[in-house]
Structure 1
């Protein structure tokens, strides 16, 4: 008899989860994907918050990215899928989430259209809220937002997950179920709308059947099961979409964040140094690093993480001391910062000299600027090209691809606290 995992997918290896029973007698997901051959021991850590305790501010939601995958047909999309796609797109935009899609006709186009129209009503820029990951030769919806090209191949279904914090499934005809398996494998919060057709309905049933073993983190089964409500009208779709976006998503994302904070022993700490005027770029880089954070490979820190009332200068010094790497986002405004030039950069250079095998200094040319004014940078190889700054990329898609390349280079070179996690 095939194992549970073999019956679900012939290609994906099992996911190792750390979990414990809560007082509500449901399993709370506590761990992230690790290679089975590398895991030598498993220990439990404190549980994640329950749904009723969670809340996410508008500002926090704006830094979260949700992948919506579903029926990719140009014709014959079931009415329940159409209603759900439009309602979810509207709710994600109203709550200031970022949307990731695969750019297919059908659900991808429908959710994107509703999302972009709602953003326009709210006077929000799609470039800051939308990523479309599409194959060569296919057109993204209106070519708006950040359009990222990815080659055809067996992983094209999973490529958009690099950019997302959570997955929502609406309908689907095969590839959508693969996306659910990929999210399950990576420990990503996943929300199949069981009241829609095809893959989403199948994934909803699988999730419900496996709940005691592999729940969606941070939420109760009874709250999850509302996603199985039949969507017979636009009113049904709105009710389910509001429940998903206002309650389930923030609860699950808070739970994953709690795990990342608790399970940080093996994660390399990356300190991000930047100008406040470039804070949007910091958010984009941290979004691209989130899959690695979920796997326990890295944790990121920037001064926006300083809590109100803290002694900010002492916090920064402490974080530099505890970090294994630093990333400088070079721009004209950064060069004008006396604090960065007189305190942060000398501290980074001293750490490299003191422990060259345990600390890395990375720098990225974000904006064309006289970076040579900081002679110490000449000792360190930049991530990405110094011949063209990221902001000078010909299109937003090119800029996004170059950011992803820089992130992948950092992950290859950053020192590890625990080689088992590589």
Structure 2
């Protein structure tokens, strides 16, 4: 059995596919991943000998460039065309396609699967892209929803109009060129009738009734057995648990100031600090021995040894911190990150910072909540309820569906 996993996005979009690829291979499947050509993605997949089919431009460089919202249709057209070009030859002979990542890229991958007659599954790593009467959609940059509109069904109708306006022409042009009919609505085509939600049901509960038959598998996470670097272990052992600060794939354009603000806010609580460079390239502004800078490292192991985790609120980082029982401060930057910040606050396992730009005072206030003993107690309790087997569940579901499809032919 041969399976193609496709995504276009940041580390948070690629890492879950690594977990699924490993679990599929354990069950005898051959797996390849289509993803951006960034070196850190290729290195991560190579760690597990999973072949990478590079597609599109570097996700990191695209994030750093921060193109204006007006360029979104053009970028989407390029992503869709890249999907057809890269995935079509890679998917030949595959028995299933799993598509996730940015919506236009997923639309392209699903279209390739349709063209080749391959069963496909649409997956999301946060529920805000799934239409539901219980929550509003995310607004696209430059296309805000009408002020005062609170009816979620109305907002989802407007969301469908936005996705068609932004991506419809590009998708249909490529589909027609490949012998496929146009779609009625881009979003509904990507979501399908039975999408998969690869998140933990405690951290991200899907509410019924809804209009979709959603399959919630649990988050796709692999146990990380990599040891922490010796110098990091020495820093951890040299004093009380520090506070971790990192913003993952977020560019944080005022990165030097963000690092300074974070360090001062942590020091205000008498704590040491670990700063993760991330895609923003965060660095320290002094050489005091209460600070330590890390690059790529085992977050699962590190988060279990810190007093709190300050982060951007990506789905993957939020899940990892929650599983580790770490108290959190979420400083959301964009997209679904305010949602994860809200969930952290609602569960009592940390604080949601108000807005994307922290000051020493605002971050220190949020840290005061995260560092309370009751917050740590809640975080420890919730950690025990997070299921560890999401990727295994997904692998079994996918292989079962492929086998059923074969029998039905």
Q: Same fold (TM over 0.5)?
A: no
TM-score interval (norm. to shorter): under 0.3
TM-score normalised to structure 2 length: 0.26
TM-score normalised to structure 1 length: 0.26
- Relative CO higher for 1 or 2, CA cutoff 8 Å, sep ≥ 6? 1
